[in-house]
Structure 1
């Protein structure tokens, strides 16, 4: 936040208009994180073109790039009632901000998937005797999907969320890998549980949203994948893709995965798990 503020003041020296914008930003950054460029122009008494020029002078591609970065800086301070701003019917600049964020996040995935952190996590999940997926509050809703997918290709997948048996009675073993789902607003109960497990000698990895995440201090590896915040609740399209990708990569490391999937399919067919059109 300090670096962000310093950059604003540096640009303010360029002109009287920029100084006018900077003075408003310096005391209203949190409010601006919810604004469209038209909103900010109205509040500062300048044109939208001036707002765009100010943002590009800061080094951003435009106002959209600026406000997304600002949101990433301040979003852990947002509370649910404040997010009702995203329920308004008029969409900034004629497009859904959540859709634009998700598209931008997906465009980052090729580089993320080639990272060393992803390769490490795939290797750990493929080799660990026991893999515990741990999370709390809204981001833990990703875990059942991850557990279902990974549970199809290997045994030993467990889910630990507050109040579950795996959470309340967790017993650390050297063969265990914990993957923490550490996303804003970063539940304290999750961070404390993961740190306690790590102190007990368990390998703790994390999937988190940015390099400033609290998970970076103790997770190894820590895989950074962006989430979108331009809505009433955070959206997890990129992390959901990552789960699917991770499952595919782990499956490639398991020699008997085809036989395993064939056995599961045979069982499902025998039990009539899936609906089929009746024959007449």
Structure 2
């Protein structure tokens, strides 16, 4: 399987967990159900437990935490949500049109999430105050980290992209913390490289506050991040579409600008002056 080539569930399955405070074990179960929604709706509690790597009683307690009498009731609800019956225009047209319409739906979902501006503002304040600001993105997430960092460098004095794994990654995290970094922005996207979570553990051990842009509110990143910002990844083509996560990255950058407007304006003016002097752009 290629990077980013995993199937995601309908938004309706994710809605089961919204507003419910889950333990780390329950988040593992939720993530398992999200990734295997159609199949899980026909599995027993024991089979779901094995798939998620937890105990069978944990699956039962998870179902009760969601407001069901037990796992059979949750399974019936999953069957209702995954049995088809999708409405709207998402099923119209050819597969390319459906993929684009699915991305539009992902952006609309993100727009609804952004009704709570406090979480975005909190992320902006944490990241704006971190000097330097390390930005982590490995494998499929590396281009998003670079995209964010390119623009962030215009308003932040020291942005450090961490897009290579291996032993040097830990060195660079420790160097950032020793230089005064207080927070880390991490892009955590499917298929979830193992090295990403090792880096998140190292970041927490180094005293960094982790802000994660990830694909789901029950992503494995929730175990490591103090602040999780979800944006759905599109899965209708051979490789994942990152339209919503990329949009969210720019929203977070806006929040960084809003957290320090005077510094932002000063740095932008200095860049424009330098760009004009060097004739960087044609227009």
TM beyond 0.5: yes
Residue 253 (str. 1) matches residue 259 (str. 2): yes
Kindly report which structure 2 residues correspond to 1:193-208, keeping only aligned pairs within 5 A, or say none. 193-208=199-214
Q: Which runs of 5+ in 2 are unaligned?
A: 1-32, 44-76
Taking structure 1 as the reference length, the TM-score comes to 0.65
Kindly report which structure 2 residues correspond to 1:1-280, keeping only aligned pairs within 5 A, or say none. 1=33, 5=39, 7=41, 58-59=80-81, 62-64=84-86, 94-96=94-96, 97-115=98-116, 116-162=118-164, 167=169, 169-170=171-172, 171=174, 172-173=177-178, 175-254=181-260, 255-275=262-282
Q: Quick one: distance in 2 between partners of 1:272 and 1:251?
A: 25
Q: Quick one: distance in 1 between partners of 2:78 and 2:162?
A: 45
C-alpha RMSD over aligned residues: 3.2
Q: Quick one: distance in 2 between partners of 1:215 and 1:106?
A: 21
Taking structure 2 as the reference length, the TM-score comes to 0.64
Question: Is this contact kept in 2: 1:102–1:228, CA < 8 A?
Answer: yes
Q: Highest relative contact order (Cα 8 Å, sep 6+), 1 or 2?
A: 2
Question: Is this contact kept in 2: 1:207–1:222, CA < 8 A?
Answer: yes
Question: Is this contact kept in 2: 1:56–1:62, CA < 8 A?
Answer: no
Q: Quick one: distance in 2 between partners of 1:166 and 1:158?
A: 14
Which residue does 1:78 correspond to in 2?
Answer: none
Q: Quick one: distance in 1 between partners of 2:253 and 2:206?
A: 27
Q: Which runs of 5+ in 1 are unaligned?
A: 10-54, 69-90
Which residue does 2:68 correspond to in 1?
Answer: none
Deviations 1:36-93 (A, max 9, x none): xxxxxxxxxxxxxxxxxxx99814694457xx9xxxxxxxxxxxxxxxxxxxxxx985
How many aligned positions are there? 209
Local SS of the residue matching 2:244: helix
